[in-house]
């Protein structure tokens, strides 16, 4: 739909990168859906789209649910968008049933969840929890500053700190998402209850060597930045796989300069991302990778610089809400299992404001961030049903830490 390749089909996925024309078109569609189901719709200073349905108790804090609609380049149809569409469907079902909830309910489409634009994701939710995102407004990407990009989607960078919500200002936060891994699909289990979201450490690494003639420079005299980058890529693989556990490490992007066949690479810029549920382990792995980078720099006679792009702490989901999801799933005949989230989500930011939980549905083959990403419509429906029933259950009951 929005961001699909010209002449493409559903199976070709989408490229709906934040601040792109496709993102703006998708955001307009979400606003229209909000208004169609009579939500009070607005865009906050960070560009988050918020739809609100009032509850019977004017003093009650809102139940917030949602996800994001931006994608990676050549991404899938379900990542993020399922959580927003299912939340809209849940509120429509509540309205059609004539139900008046005690709490207000808000649906949020968070801005720039993916870290494609400007290299750092979770932007809208980071602004909502009060991270100093104003410090990033001068950064450049695709010829525009971040401030210009935020204006493009209806935000207000001058007053961006006003997007902040106070800790304790929400009743709870719920996010439905495709798993983006293969655990549920392999086990044939329709509902995953997330125990926690991993810590994520992302760095840009700049390797500086000496660009020189590829045909006339002896091998012993070279300062090849790409050779150093290759060794560092393998070092990330070695460090991460050497320790037991579910930790992962990824070199996801390399830019080579001058990137010409007859020239020894003089500069390489690359990204390294480390993830694990234990923040301590992530920091330890990062230190080990940097130590190996120092050895590589010495051996290749290059300079290696690490620049932190962003660190997101791990976030535990609320145990009481986990139990509610177990109960409502059982009530509609759905089997569940508990599992960690290996990917970052806006939910880990929202955990700073109040109790948070996530519901996963299967990703066929564990594929995501790809046009081949696929979740059956039946599983989407099951996830939306569990989301709806969880909202209603949390609205009617008092849980320690929620009321």
Enter the tokens of residue 29: 């569609």
Structural domain ending residue among the three candidates 312, 338, 354: 312
* 1 in any annotated domain: no
What integer pLDDT is reported at residue 342 of this predicted model? 87
Residues 51 and 109 in one domain: yes
For 282, other C-beta atoms within 10 Å of its C-beta total 24
Low-confidence ranges of the chain (pLDDT < 50): 400-401
What integer pLDDT is reported at residue 403 of this predicted model? 53
Residue 189 CA to residue 337 CA, distance in Å, equals 7
Q: How many domains does the chain have?
A: 2
Structural domain ending residue among the three candidates 292, 312, 332: 312
Q: Which domain holds residue 240?
A: 199-312
What integer pLDDT is reported at residue 310 of this predicted model? 84
Domain with residue 157: its CATH number is 3.40.630.10
Exposed e or buried b per residue across 225-241, where buried means at least 16 C-beta atoms within 10 angstroms of its C-beta: bbbbbbbbbebbeebbe
**Model pLDDT for residues 220-279, shown as the tens digit of each residue:** 999 999 999 999 999 999 999 998 998 999 999 999 999 999 999 999 999 999 999 899
What integer pLDDT is reported at residue 397 of this predicted model? 80
Domain with residue 298: its CATH number is 3.30.70.360
What integer pLDDT is reported at residue 199 of this predicted model? 93
Residue 218 CA to residue 38 CA, distance in Å, equals 71
Residue 141 CA to residue 108 CA, distance in Å, equals 25
Do 345 and 358 contact (CB within 8 A), yes or no?
Answer: yes
């Amino acid at each position: 739909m929005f961001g699909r390749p010209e002449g493409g089909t559903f199976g070709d996925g989408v490229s709906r990168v934040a601040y792109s024309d496709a993102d703006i078109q998708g955001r307009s569609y979400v606003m229209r859906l909000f208004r169609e189901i009579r939500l009070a719709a607005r865009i906050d200073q960070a560009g988050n789209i918020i739809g609100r349905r009032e509850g019977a108790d004017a003093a009650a804090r809102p139940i917030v649910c949602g996800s994001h609609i931006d994608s990676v380049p050549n991404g899938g149809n379900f990542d993020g968008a399922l959580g927003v569409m299912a939340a809209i469907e849940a509120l429509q079902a509540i309205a059609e049933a004539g139900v008046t909830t005690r709490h207000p309910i808000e649906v949020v489409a968070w801005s720039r969840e993916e870290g494609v634009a400007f290299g750092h994701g979770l932007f809208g939710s980071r602004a909502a929890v009060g991270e100093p995102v104003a410090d990033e407004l001068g950064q450049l990407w695709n010829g525009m500053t971040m401030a210009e990009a935020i204006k493009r989607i209806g935000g207000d960078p001058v007053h961006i700190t006003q997007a902040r919500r106070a800790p304790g200002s929400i009743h709870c936060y719920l996010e439905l998402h495709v798993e983006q891994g293969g655990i549920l699909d392999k086990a044939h289990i329709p509902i995953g209850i997330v125990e926690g979201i991993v810590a994520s450490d992302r760095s840009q690494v700049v390797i500086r060597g000496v660009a020189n003639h590829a045909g006339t420079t002896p091998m012993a005299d070279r300062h090849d930045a790409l050779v150093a980058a290759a060794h560092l890529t393998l070092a990330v693989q070695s460090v991460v796989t050497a320790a037991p556990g579910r930790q992962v490490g990824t070199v996801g992007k390399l830019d080579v300069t001058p990137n010409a066949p007859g020239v020894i690479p003089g500069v390489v810029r690359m990204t390294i991302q480390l993830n694990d549920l234990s923040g301590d382990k992530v920091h330890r792995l990062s230190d080990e990778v940097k130590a190996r980078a120092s050895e590589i720099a010495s051996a290749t006679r290059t300079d290696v610089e690490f620049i932190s792009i962003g660190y997101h702490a791990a976030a535990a989901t609320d145990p009481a809400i986990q139990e509610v999801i177990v109960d409502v799933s059982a009530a509609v005949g759905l089997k569940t299992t508990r599992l960690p989230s290996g990917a970052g989500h806006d939910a880990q930011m929202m955990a700073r404001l109040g109790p948070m939980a996530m519901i996963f549905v299967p990703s066929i083959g564990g594929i995501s961030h790809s046009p081949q990403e696929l979740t059956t419509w039946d599983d989407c429906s099951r996830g939306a049903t569990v989301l709806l029933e969880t909202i209603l259950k949390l609205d009617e009951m008092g849980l320690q830490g929620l009321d």
